[in-house]
């Protein structure tokens, strides 16, 4: 859904795009399939190693942080962050914005999608990692970014990301166990987490789903 919305704003074929906070590269893969030349940047070496083995060779995978991008000046048509800005420490988010501006071409765009601190997905995940504060702060930053740091808001759209988790065990395997800190929190509170999952889950067309509302912010550079 993230990439479909992005396509509605700008054709991706032939663009040079960086996916910042790419994780194991799920959205980098979609950008590559849309015909873009993609660089996936991730700060976690373990996720970088996974991306290097799991992504198409057409995607350039790099270890790097949002506030110190391993990219040349004015080299990118599009910089994207999908659910990753709130993971950038607040004390370096301004530096990260400067980096995004540095690497974008004069005609480039910045596209950031952030989850809200509410929704059924959040209701469950917050029991192992409460991101209320960091998500609230990231939305405040993006809402106030228009006309600051060299960026101008072009489009803002709210939508709901729906994800399928057939069983609680499947949810735990995908969302909790890969992260050591979440795993520890789960082991200390597993019964409450399972109860919450069963209470808020929704059945849609025979599928068990959770919903995560988010907002996509799309910026151009100020001239």
> Does the pLDDT value for residue 132 go beyond 90?
yes
- Neighbour-count burial for 112-138, b at 16+ CB within 10 Å, e otherwise: bbbbbbebbbbbbbbbbeebeebbebb
Quickly state the pLDDT bin for 191 (edges 50, 70, 90). very high
> Does the pLDDT value for residue 223 go beyond 80?
no
Number of domains in the chain: 1
Rounded mean pLDDT of the chain?
Answer: 96
CATH of the domain at 151: 3.40.50.150
Domain of 152, in residue numbers: 2-221
- Residue 52 class from Cβ within 10 Å (0-12 exposed, 13-18 middle, 19+ buried)? middle
* DSSP code per residue over 55-119: S-TTSEEEE-BTTB-S--TT-EEEEEEES-GGGS-GGGHHHHHHHHHHHEEEEEEEEEEEE-S-S
């Amino acid at each position: 859904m993230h990439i479909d919305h992005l396509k509605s704003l700008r054709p991706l074929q032939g663009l040079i795009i960086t996916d910042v906070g790419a994780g194991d590269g799920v959205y980098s893969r979609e950008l590559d399939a849309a015909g873009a030349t993609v660089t996936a940047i991730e700060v976690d070496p373990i996720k970088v190693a996974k991306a290097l083995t799991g992504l198409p060779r057409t995607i350039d995978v790099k270890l790097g942080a949002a506030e110190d991008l391993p990219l040349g000046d004015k080299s990118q048509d599009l910089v994207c962050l999908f659910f990753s800005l709130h993971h950038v420490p607040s004390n370096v988010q301004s530096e990260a914005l400067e980096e995004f501006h540095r690497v974008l071409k004069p005609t480039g765009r910045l596209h950031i999608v952030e989850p809200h601190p509410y929704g059924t997905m959040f209701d469950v995940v917050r029991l192992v990692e409460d991101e209320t504060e960091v998500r609230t702060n990231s939305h405040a930053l993006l809402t106030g970014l228009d006309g600051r740091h060299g960026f101008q808001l072009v489009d803002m759209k709210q939508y709901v990301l729906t994800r399928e988790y057939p069983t609680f065990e499947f949810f735990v395997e995908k969302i909790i166990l890969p992260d050591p800190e979440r795993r520890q929190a789960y082991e200390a509170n597993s019964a409450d987490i399972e109860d919450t999952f069963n209470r808020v889950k929704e059945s849609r067309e025979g599928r068990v789903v959770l919903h995560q509302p988010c907002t996509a912010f799309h910026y151009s550079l100020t001239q």
